[in-house]
Amino acid sequence: MFITFNPMKMLIAFFCNLLLFGAARGQNDTNKDHGASGSVVSSAAVANCKRCIVLAEQSQTRIAIAEVSTQTIIWEWKAAGHVKDSAHIKWFSNPSDAKVVYNGRYVLMCASGGGVALIRIADQKTVFYAYAGGNTHSAELLPDGNIVSASSTGHFLTLFTVDTLRFPDGVYSKQVPIDFGHNVVWDRKNDLLWSAAGKAMKSFIYNGNCTRPDLILKDSIPLPGKEAHDLFPVYGENAFWFTNTTNVYRFDVSTKTLQQADVVQTSIKSVSNGPREFPVILSKPKESWWTDEVIDATGKRVFYGQGLKIYKARWVVPNPFSYPKKHRFNTCQ
C-alpha cells in the first residue's frame, strides 16, 4: 500500500490539535507543579509551545519537555506518584528514550531499569506501563495500539498487549530475540517494524494479532561499524537517522542504502529533525552517557540546563513516517 503525506499539512494539524487541547483546559489547568528550574510544569504550556524538545533526563529520573525559546523545562513526569506500586519505581531508573505520540497528547517512554510507559500529557497519568527488563532502550507504538520495546543487554524485543485495566502484571508479553536491542521504529508505508541490531538492520512483519502479538523476521541488512544505537525517522523523508559508536548515517528505506550524514559524528545517542525551520538536534555525551545540552548538526547549542543528564532528545513534531495524520489513542479490542 502506498501512502503519501504533506509534511506541512501534518505539522499544521499537529499544532492545531495541541492548541485546541490547551484551550479546552484553559486557565483552569489544575495540573501544575514546579520543576528543578522553577518553571511551571503545565500541559497548557506544552500545548502552546512552538518549539519544544522531549528529553530522557536522568538527573531527576524523569521525562521532561523543554521549551527552546525560554530554555526551561515546562512539563515533566516521574514514576514516583504515577505508578501503581512503589516497588515499580525502580523500573523507571535511568530513562532511556521518549517520543511524543497520539497527535501530541501522550508520551511513550522507556528506561534502562526495564520499564515501558505511556503517559497522558494533560494530567501526567500513566495510562499503561509494564516491565520489559534487559536494559530497555527504546519503545514504539504498533498500529493496533500495542507496544514493542528493545532491550540491549537482554538482547530481545518485547511485545505488549496494551490493556489499560490489567497492567502491569496482567498483560500479555512476548520476547523476540535480537542482538543488542537499542531501537524500534514502525514503518507505516511498508507495514514493517525496523530495528538496527548490532551489525544488521532488521525488518519484521507484525502479525497484527492484538491479543497475541508477534513478529516475523523479513530482512537482515549488514551495517557498518558495531553497536548500532539510535534509529529514528528523518522528518518528511522515507529514511532513518541511524547512529553507532563512530558515525551518524541516513538510511534510505526504499533503496536500503546508507549515506553518512552531514552532522557531528561519534558517540551520538539520538538524532531528530523537523520542518525546515527546525535544526537537526543531537545528544552527544559530555560525561559517561549523558550531557547537559542539546546541540545542532554543527555542534552549536540549542538547549542547555545546568545539572541535567540528558540521554536522548527529540523534537515535539508529528511523525508521519510511523503514525497516521489523525492518530487517536488506541488499545487492543
Q: How does pLDDT run across 158-174, given as a tens digit for each residue? A: 999 999 999 999 999 99
| 331 within some domain | no
Mean pLDDT of the chain: 91
Task: State the cell numbers at 237.
Answer: 523523508
Measured between alpha carbons, how far is 60 from 100 in angstroms, rounded to an integer? 20
| 322 within some domain | no
| 327 within some domain | no
Residue 208 has pLDDT above 90, yes or no: yes
Q: Provide the CA 277 distance to its chain's centre, in angstroms.
A: 21
Q: Provide the CA 239 distance to its chain's centre, in angstroms.
A: 16
From residue 199, alpha-carbon distances to 221, 224, 272 in Å are 9, 7, 22
Residue 24 has pLDDT above 60, yes or no: no
**Which pLDDT belongs to residue 14?**
59
Span 320-333, average pLDDT: 92
| 326 within some domain | no
Question: What is the pTM assigned to this prediction?
Answer: 0.89
Measured between alpha carbons, how far is 236 from 10 in angstroms, rounded to an integer? 10
Q: Are strands 52-57 and 62-67 parallel, antiparallel or unpaired?
A: antiparallel
| 330 within some domain | no
Residue 116 has pLDDT above 50, yes or no: yes
Residue 37 has pLDDT above 70, yes or no: no
Span 263-281, average pLDDT: 97
Non-local (6+) Cβ contacts of 201 within 8 A are 194, 195, 219, 220, 221, 222, 223, 228, 242, 251, 256
| 225 within some domain | yes
Measured between alpha carbons, how far is 217 from 225 in angstroms, rounded to an integer? 22
CA angle 88, 196, 102 (to 5 degrees): 55
**pLDDT level of residue 1 (50, 70, 90 thresholds):** very low
Range of the domain at 269: 7-315
Which of 31-45, 47-61, 101-115, 301-315 is the least confident region?
31-45
C-alpha torsion 47→52→56→62, nearest 10: -40
Q: Provide the CA 144 distance to its chain's centre, in angstroms.
A: 18
Span 35-50, average pLDDT: 69
- Whether residue 28 contacts residue 333, with contact meaning beta carbons closer than 8 Å, is answered with no
CATH number of the domain where residue 268 is located: 2.120.10.30
Measured between alpha carbons, how far is 333 from 297 in angstroms, rounded to an integer? 43
Q: Is 30 helix (H, G, I), strand (E, B) or coil?
A: coil
Span 97-114, average pLDDT: 98
pLDDT, tens digit (0-9, with 9 covering 90-100), for 126-142: 999 999 999 999 999 99
| 170 within some domain | yes
Measured between alpha carbons, how far is 311 from 292 in angstroms, rounded to an integer? 9
Q: How many domains does the chain have?
A: 1
Span 250-273, average pLDDT: 98
| 53 within some domain | yes
